[in-house]
Chain A
């Protein structure tokens, strides 16, 4: 690698249409060299198509794909310095593990592959399995072979297409850490396509949330989670409580809002929508940011916190936390996750409660959007 940017992936205005269906709208994206980048979205959002255009397996309808300084838009896949870990791995069934891993080296005319292949199999802890056929390995082992087969070629970019989708939950967690470790070790740019928001947030430095062929928002996982710009991101990435509110006034760095008779405070900096007095915004807060106090103790709540009153509609105990669904005037199904530190025995369905949270944890979104965008897709994917 001659310069520092040789592993940058730059997509300039690439799009893909199939007949009248647009899979990917013109898209600009730069993935810096050495980063772990995730494309996150529900199925059919265009993330895999984007990945395949980088691999060369799909031809963009418009736009340019560059690797470092090289324009690779018109190169066939076998001439691109990019390798892919396919969904369900696509290991060659007629070749043993050793030959699967050696495949890329042999095609490039490298004769002495033994040492490299053995080192690579050791890296993924499969040295013992070299002479087995793919179908004799477990799902997790096959997944590691697929990674080894791609990595041995020292690609500038490794593309991962839902690589953990076929594994069970426990193995998936383990492989997430394993992949992260390998990425840190080899320092190659990883572009990871997934529909699992937890997976994207665990592994990636930068996440691009895609919806209907567009990137909705791009940023570090914590940033996306804390400061969603759209209702889709707010609902798809974790759970958000969204309340429709009217802008009442401005006071310094805060916006004061009216919602269901009460007042809520929102920092100007955390509002991505224009907030003119009398206009509408959507106020959002994450369920774990909210505290729950029984109505009898409402006086003990410190001043300056946003509060909403309601009635517990449902509660479910899940070990580390208890998840409550609160019925309130401003939002029919307000979700609250309370850590199980000191459980108040009065907090049972039917109890009157006050929900309160720090204004700093409030975010504001443009009210012109669909308030439920991303809710259904997130649920479908989880199912």
Chain B
């Protein structure tokens, strides 16, 4: 009976912990196996502890090159999609123009369409145009599918913005440029940042569309896929763990800054 009561009281916490475990387990496995010293070419069985891979993360041929390429594409795709997406979002919310309804639904297509279909159609398009497959075709494709996520994130924010704030800025001697920089942009910033983060994450780990349109260029996800056919180097786990840690650090930093700001306010 005592146990049942205890269970009743802690049910929410237990459910939370189980869910968290479910989410974290793959990450833990990846991390643990980044310290493995496998026998043979596959890193699927635990052999013995070793920090070899961590000391030499670029020890696998071509891996760090593909990583750097993926990061570059992700950065530029984020910049491109965020700038374009923000402008589209503002246009869709603030202005009434002829094709507004159509653009509004078209923007959602990349999200709704199966990736394989989009990848194949893009390839057809590029081939017909005679485009050289590689960095630029990947970048164009990434900006295209990241756009819809940025637009959605920014649009939600812009829609909830009180238009009177901009009128108030104008009333207080801010011209159109000043109003945008001092009021509109800072207030829309959280939406834009959310859109940019989404775009970066989506671009960095995209495989299907990239694989179709990359030509002979190899991004990090493509490298991982390719090497999994022949044998998985421990370094892949090292990069995976490092990415996970960087993301966790970002989140923690964000929380610390937010907390400090709140404490200052109080």
Task: Enumerate chain A interface residues (CB-CB to B < 8 A).
Answer: 55-57, 76-79, 82-84, 86-88, 90-94, 103-104, 107-108, 131-133, 136, 149-150, 153
Interface stretch, picked from B97-105, B111-119, B161-169, is: B161-169
How many angstroms between the C-alpha atoms of A184 and B264 in the bound complex? 37
**Cβ proximity bits B182-221 to A, threshold 8 Å, 1 near / 0 not:** 1100110100000000000000000000000000000000
How many angstroms between the C-alpha atoms of A149 and B172 in the bound complex? 8
B95 at the interface (CB under 8 A from A): no
B171 at the interface (CB under 8 A from A): yes
How many angstroms between the C-alpha atoms of A368 and B173 in the bound complex? 49
How many angstroms between the C-alpha atoms of A55 and B171 in the bound complex? 7
How many angstroms between the C-alpha atoms of A93 and B162 in the bound complex? 10
Residue contact B265 to A77, C-beta cutoff 8 Å: no
List 8 other contacts, CB 8 Å, given A57-B167, A150-B171. Answer: A78-B170, A78-B171, A84-B167, A90-B162, A92-B187, A94-B189, A107-B174, A153-B173
CB distance from A199 to the nearest CB of B (A): 21
Task: For A93, give the chain B residue with the smallest CB separation.
Answer: B187
How many angstroms between the C-alpha atoms of A81 and B167 in the bound complex? 15
Contact partners of B187 in chain A: CB under 8 A: 92-94
Contact partners of A93 in chain B: CB under 8 A: 165, 187
B173 is contacted by which of A57, A78, A88, A91 (Cβ under 8 Å)?
A78
A86 is contacted by which of B168, B173, B265 (Cβ under 8 Å)?
B168
6 smallest beta-carbon distances between A and B, as pairs: A104-B172, A90-B164, A90-B168, A107-B173, A77-B170, A94-B186
B178 at the interface (CB under 8 A from A): yes
B26 at the interface (CB under 8 A from A): no
B170 is contacted by which of A76, A94, A153 (Cβ under 8 Å)?
A76
Task: For B264, give the chain A residue with the smallest CB separation.
Answer: A131
Residue contact B165 to A78, C-beta cutoff 8 Å: no
Residue contact B164 to A88, C-beta cutoff 8 Å: yes
Task: For B183, give the chain A residue with the smallest CB separation.
Answer: A92
CB distance from B29 to the nearest CB of A (A): 42
B130 at the interface (CB under 8 A from A): no
Task: For A80, give the chain B residue with the smallest CB separation.
Answer: B171
Residue contact B167 to A86, C-beta cutoff 8 Å: yes
Q: How many residues of B contact A (CB 8 A)?
A: 21
Contact partners of B165 in chain A: CB under 8 A: 90, 92-93
How many angstroms between the C-alpha atoms of A15 and B182 in the bound complex? 33
Q: 8 Å CB contacts to A: which residues of B135-186? A: 162, 164-165, 167-175, 178-179, 182-183, 186
How many angstroms between the C-alpha atoms of A136 and B264 in the bound complex? 12
Residue contact B265 to A133, C-beta cutoff 8 Å: yes
Chain B interface main SS type: helix
How many angstroms between the C-alpha atoms of A153 and B171 in the bound complex? 11
Contact partners of B265 in chain A: CB under 8 A: 132-133, 136
How many angstroms between the C-alpha atoms of A225 and B182 in the bound complex? 46
Residue contact B171 to A57, C-beta cutoff 8 Å: yes
How many angstroms between the C-alpha atoms of A108 and B175 in the bound complex? 10
How many angstroms between the C-alpha atoms of A133 and B174 in the bound complex? 21
Q: 8 Å CB contacts to A: which residues of B55-107? A: none
Known: A92-B183, A133-B265. Is A78-B175 also a contact (CB below 8 A)? yes
How many angstroms between the C-alpha atoms of A317 and B164 in the bound complex? 44
A103 is contacted by which of B162, B172, B189 (Cβ under 8 Å)?
B172
A-B contact pairs, 7 of them (CB 8 A): A57-B167, A78-B170, A78-B173, A87-B164, A90-B167, A103-B174, A108-B173
How many angstroms between the C-alpha atoms of A381 and B163 in the bound complex? 25
Contact partners of B175 in chain A: CB under 8 A: 76, 78
CB distance from A240 to the nearest CB of B (A): 36
CB distance from A145 to the nearest CB of B (A): 12
Residue contact B170 to A57, C-beta cutoff 8 Å: yes
How many angstroms between the C-alpha atoms of A260 and B171 in the bound complex? 57
Contact partners of B172 in chain A: CB under 8 A: 78, 83, 103-104, 107, 149-150, 153
How many angstroms between the C-alpha atoms of A251 and B183 in the bound complex? 69
Contact partners of B173 in chain A: CB under 8 A: 78-79, 104, 107-108, 153
How many angstroms between the C-alpha atoms of A86 and B165 in the bound complex? 9
How many angstroms between the C-alpha atoms of A9 and B39 in the bound complex? 89
A77 is contacted by which of B162, B167, B178 (Cβ under 8 Å)?
B167
How many angstroms between the C-alpha atoms of A103 and B187 in the bound complex? 15
Task: For A102, give the chain B residue with the smallest CB separation.
Answer: B172
**Cβ proximity bits B16-30 to A, threshold 8 Å, 1 near / 0 not:** 000000000000000
Task: For A82, give the chain B residue with the smallest CB separation.
Answer: B171
Contact partners of A149 in chain B: CB under 8 A: 172
CB distance from A9 to the nearest CB of B (A): 15
